[in-house]
Amino acid sequence: MMEHISAERTSLKIRLIKRLREDPSAQGIALISPTMIYLGIFMLIPLLLVVVLSLMTRGPYGNVVYRLNLANYLRLVDMLYLRILGYSLRTAAITTVACIFIGYPLAYYIARIPAKQRSLLLFLILIPFWTNFIIRIYAWIMILRTEGILNGILLNLGVIKLPLDILYTPLAVQIGMIYEFLPFMVLPLYTSLEKIEMAQLEAAADLGAPPGRAFWRITLPLSVPGMVAGSILVFIPAMGMFVVPDLMGGAKTILVGNLIRNQFLTARDWPFGSAASMLLLILTLLVTLVYTRKAGFGEELLI
């Protein structure tokens, strides 16, 4: 009996190996399966949990009552929440645009200097990632607060008479978010700018284009893939950001990320938090979809 099972196992093993050797699609599945399993366990299942939870009800003690209903979603259709959502969209959009405007000249500069200095500058851009995010935000607090470094310098220079109130305002949140996401814009932009051949710009000059027009007609269009990829990398996490508004916005600025965080940790209303998460997810997907329909995914960067 035991022998029979082991013989059957061996033949199964042999058949499997044979299949893997000969069938390219089996090889593909085998190669991708670790990733699929990982994504399945750590993304798909939690996501399904959120979907299910969003359809449940909060119990009196913050527990989850398993009764299917759409009440959580209906609750979201409220000016208060819609305003938070709109405000989050606006903040993420401003962050993305500001990252393009600040990141573009920086990426352009890095892509144009000699290769040796390039790696140093790229390294400098990545250095902040070595430090804890919270610590870096506290550094910004030190700079922006009323008795902070920025006000100190401006007062000493006589630019202002009274200290500026920047910290704990929407502006501070915006500054913090732009700071946080800038590298995610610079790196893909750099990649696309660096790939533009000098010959393309020489051809433009040769055909009569002064540097300004060559930039608009050649450099800018050819760097669109990097801009799209950077925008996706900035916009999506910016939509869910809650640490920066917490620490730098005081209690005044609340984004959809804070709303969700509060539902789970403070209000202990997991179902409503899940519904808000779903709304955020759908909204982000929609915006990204519309955007990439127009501009592509930046897939040219991969070639």
112 binds another protein (CB under 8 A): no
**Positive/negative CA dihedral, 246, 248, 253, 256:** negative
**Nearest-approach distance from CB 201 to another protein, in angstroms:** 9
Q: Of 50, 222, 243, 295, which one interacts with another protein (CB under 8 A)? A: 222
213 binds another protein (CB under 8 A): yes
204 binds another protein (CB under 8 A): yes
Q: What is the spatial distance between Cα 147 and Cα 152, in angstroms, rounded to a whole number?
A: 7
Q: Is the Cβ–Cβ distance between 52 and 42 less than 8 Å?
A: no
Given the complex with another protein, which of 176 and 225 has the nearer CB atom? Answer: 225
Nearest to 192 by CA among 65, 256, 130, 100: 100
Given the complex with another protein, which of 9 and 112 has the nearer CB atom? Answer: 112
202 binds another protein (CB under 8 A): yes
Given the complex with another protein, which of 102 and 222 has the nearer CB atom? Answer: 222
Segment interacting with another protein (CB under 8 A) among 27-35, 62-70, 99-107, 218-226: 218-226
Given the complex with another protein, which of 60 and 114 has the nearer CB atom? Answer: 114
Q: Of 22, 210, 251, 293, which one interacts with another protein (CB under 8 A)? A: 210
Given the complex with another protein, which of 38 and 216 has the nearer CB atom? Answer: 216
244 binds another protein (CB under 8 A): no
Q: What is the spatial distance between Cα 76 and Cα 229, in angstroms, rounded to a whole number?
A: 31
Q: How many CB atoms lie within 10 A of CB 253?
A: 21
217 binds another protein (CB under 8 A): yes
Q: What is the spatial distance between Cα 268 and Cα 63, in angstroms, rounded to a whole number?
A: 8
Q: Of 17, 65, 203, 289, which one interacts with another protein (CB under 8 A)? A: 203
218 binds another protein (CB under 8 A): yes
Q: Of 27, 146, 200, 266, which one interacts with another protein (CB under 8 A)? A: 200
**Nearest-approach distance from CB 213 to another protein, in angstroms:** 7
Given the complex with another protein, which of 78 and 299 has the nearer CB atom? Answer: 299
Q: Of 206, 251, 265, 294, which one interacts with another protein (CB under 8 A)? A: 206
Given the complex with another protein, which of 163 and 296 has the nearer CB atom? Answer: 296
Q: Of 1, 2, 162, 207, which one interacts with another protein (CB under 8 A)? A: 207
**Nearest-approach distance from CB 220 to another protein, in angstroms:** 10
Q: Of 52, 100, 164, 205, which one interacts with another protein (CB under 8 A)? A: 205
Give me the residues that bind another protein (CB under 8 A), please.
197, 199-200, 202-210, 213, 217-218, 221-222
